[in-house]
Structure 1
Amino acid sequence: MRPPQRVALVIGVIASSYLIFSILFSIDEHYRVIYEKDTLAKATTKKQSATKWVNRKKVLIFAATTFFGMDIIKKGFLDECNSTKGFCEISTSRSDADRADAILFHNADYSQMQLPKKRNPKQPYILWSLESPANDHFRPGKNVINWTMTPRRDADIWYPYGHLEKLDHKNEVDYEEIWNMKSSTLPPATWLASNCFAKNRRTELVKELEGKGLKIDRWGRCGKTHPTCFGVEKQGYPCVQELVRPYKFYISIENTNCIDYVTEKFYETLYSRMAVPIVLAREYYQKLGIPDDSYIAIDDFENLEDLAAEVNKIANDKQLYLKYHKWRETYRVIPEHHDSTGFCELCRRLQLPIETSKSYEDVNGWHTNGMCNQSIADKYLR
């Protein structure tokens, strides 16, 4: 090779190397900047979070009533409150009533006799209930209660039986595992219930649905006794989870049809039983932000024959059935006892300046007026 050509080649190699190095350096610098920004953002978030909690005052809740006869204490009620650990306590001692940051009443155990003789205007009076408005009235009189703590989304403290949360990433779902846990010999659906005379006529509806061609195994007081799972009507029992899992569908009709009243029977069906709930009316679940394709609503159908035929069709088609589990990729079920709601949210709220000038003139009216519709099933039972 001639000298001029050799020089040109060397220059070309150097130039190419420099170009490649520049590109690589540019890419590296680009991602370094992104990494540093991300790290700074995370550090800032952590700093803000730490600042948010570092000087929090300790709060004390005085439980003026029991919870269906059981003492309301830290264990069982504050166990999941990670964000307020060390800041929030519950006391049942009357000696703590005067210094407490709030007075809590469970509605079913409420009586006027439990009211402190002299009211501290800085203490909010909180009424707590998880019961359906159709089954239980609110007992306190005019302007006694400052805050409500119920499953209603517009309650002062939201205390649902559970809820669904949208994920910020796609979740891996083992569809084969879900399908393989379902039995091909059992009926498509099952139902566990202890209230056989519900105001919304759900027992009649289930029986009518059976008559239209949907096979349902019924357990509890409204069905048959299970040989090993005693107390099967208790929705939270581990044996109930094992009992329901082999079924593809679970009859998840509440005992009353009321706004935001969706109980653990629905959330446990999604979460631990890995089945598809069959509910009465879609609107109650849509209002709670629950994905439409996670359940089947009876009121989507003109008649029970069409509903039974559709459920049987889905039960016998693997692809159709698994579509009702696609929501698991983008949502997760949050249980009743969780750091984001209920007692944990109450603890956080009590960290803030208290406003007690607001009170409920008619707390029972707020609880019941326009909240329930018990006639939804009537069109199917004429």
Structure 2
Amino acid sequence: MTTKPSVGSYQHVLLPLFLLFCFGGVFYTYYKPTVSWFSCSNVPVSSHEVCSDECLKVLTANFTQNTTTHNYTTQKLLLPQPTPKPADTEENITFLIWTWPFGFKFDVKACSPQFGIEGCQLTDDRSQYDKAHGVLFHHRDIGGDFTELLKRPRPPHQKWVWMNMESPDNSGRNDRFDAVFNLTTNYRRDSDVWVPYGRIIEISEKDKPFKIPPKDKLVCWIVSNWNPNFRRVKFFNELSKHIKIEAYGRHFNRYISSEDYRTIVSGCKFYLSFENSIHKDYFTEKLFNPLIIGTVPVVLGPSRENYEEFIPADAFIHVDDFKSPQELAERLKFLDQNQEVYERYFTWRQHFTAIGAHFGLEHACRSCDLIKRNKSYRVFKNLNKWYWG
């Protein structure tokens, strides 16, 4: 007689199968093995087929490898912690003006409103010398008291700043200056604190749209320092043979006041921005004042390439672009008769404007700010070689 197996007789088979099924579900959900459960690497299997023995071998090997190389122990998640905010160590810097540059005094409280520089206390009180973090010396005003100062004890962390805006040709060399100063502030781009005579900056919303001022003169020049050996004087003498130039200044006995300066220059289509000496980065207010006022500068100075590092190429005319003063004169006459072409020299004013430097004040404020932010040791060993060559 055939006996039907009881339910209990299958329990030893069903229970292991049930547990295996549950384990497989959990394993697939959380482990996500690199070999698919429905297709085995290097063993083509239809998605409707059961995995072959070869497939199971691959799965077994992969599972064994992964379970032995992964740590499934629950670990505490380490989140990046915010960097603690440093304590407020803001320090006010005392910056001493040893002598006012050319005797020109400026507002010692203007660093913040003019340049947004905080924490700089400018003073001309020499009794503050021992506690001053920095001292500004203007090259042309260094005198006998400087020699006496060199004999005095010097605070070890105090920085001496050499300021000069004159070209090497117009500045006296002094061998005492080597290894004395810590920083330089100058028109040269490679000085520690660069302060040019002017800058081209982006226009702001508060700037009024630029309009070319009315013109009643073609070419103008204002000059006082007349030296027949200067290149600019020789060029002017030749240029004036081919075009009318309205010349002003002591040499021409046509003095103008500071009040009249802007009116005269703005009425000129072109202004001769001729420098008295030619050195890298040396372009002065003779260039920037016409740009600010609204006149096209005709420049004589360093190379066009040097000018173009700081001002738009179509904002000026360089004398070196012409074979002779006569050729330059012909170009200026052409521009005088062709207003549309002339106005192209002001296209840059759609996006930019020109500003001048705050002589003395800007040097002091920016030097003070550098000392405040930078505590590193620094001595300028070869000032004479760097500046005079």
Instruction: Give me the TM-score of the superposition, normalised by structure 1.
Output: 0.71
Structure 1 unaligned blocks of 5 or more: 1-50, 231-236, 370-382
Q: One-letter code of the match for 1:219?
A: Y
Question: Structure 1 149/82 Cα, relative in aligned 2: closer, same or farther at 3 Å?
Answer: closer
The corresponding residue for 1:351 is 372
Distance 2:208 2:178 in 1: 52
1:297 aligns with 2:318: yes
1:158 aligns with 2:187: no
The corresponding residue for 2:96 is 62
For the pair shown, the structure with the greater C-alpha radius of gyration is 2
1:285 aligns with 2:321: no
Question: Structure 1 251/67 Cα, relative in aligned 2: closer, same or farther at 3 Å?
Answer: same
Q: 1:62, CA displacement in angstroms?
A: 1.4
- Equivalent positions of 1:190-339 (< 5 A) are 190-197=220-227, 200-211=230-241, 213-226=242-255, 229-230=256-257, 237-272=258-293, 274-280=294-300, 281-287=303-309, 289-337=310-358
Distance 1:172 1:94 in 2: 44
Q: 1:347, CA displacement in angstroms?
A: 2.7
Preserved CA contact (<8 Å) 2:223 2:249 = yes
The corresponding residue for 1:48 is none
Preserved CA contact (<8 Å) 1:138 1:363 = no
1:365 aligns with 2:370: no
The corresponding residue for 1:94 is 126
- Equivalent positions of 1:139-178 (< 5 A) are 139=174, 140-166=176-202, 173-174=209-210, 177-178=211-212
Preserved CA contact (<8 Å) 1:72 1:90 = no
Question: Structure 1 89/116 Cα, relative in aligned 2: closer, same or farther at 3 Å?
Answer: farther
Structure 2 unaligned blocks of 5 or more: 1-84
Preserved CA contact (<8 Å) 2:97 2:123 = yes
More deviation, 59-68/148-157: 59-68
Q: 1:276, CA displacement in angstroms?
A: 0.3
Question: Structure 1 167/340 Cα, relative in aligned 2: closer, same or farther at 3 Å?
Answer: farther
The corresponding residue for 2:58 is none
Please report the RMSD computed on the Cα atoms of aligned residues, expressed in angstroms. Answer: 2.8
Distance 1:79 1:262 in 2: 27
Distance 2:135 2:190 in 1: 20
Q: 1:155, CA displacement in angstroms?
A: 0.5
Distance 2:228 2:312 in 1: 27
More deviation, 148-157/63-72: 63-72
Distance 2:106 2:252 in 1: 34
Structure 1 residues 57-90: Cα deviation after superposition (integer angstroms, max 9, x where no partner): 2111112234224567616x748534125x2122
- Size of the alignment, in residue pairs? 298
Question: Structure 1 321/199 Cα, relative in aligned 2: closer, same or farther at 3 Å?
Answer: same
Distance 2:102 2:362 in 1: 21
- The sequence identity of aligned pairs, in percent, is 28
Instruction: Give me the TM-score of the superposition, normalised by structure 2.
Output: 0.70
Question: Partner of 2:314: helix, strand, or coil?
Answer: helix
Distance 1:198 1:64 in 2: 36
Q: 1:199, CA displacement in angstroms?
A: 5.4
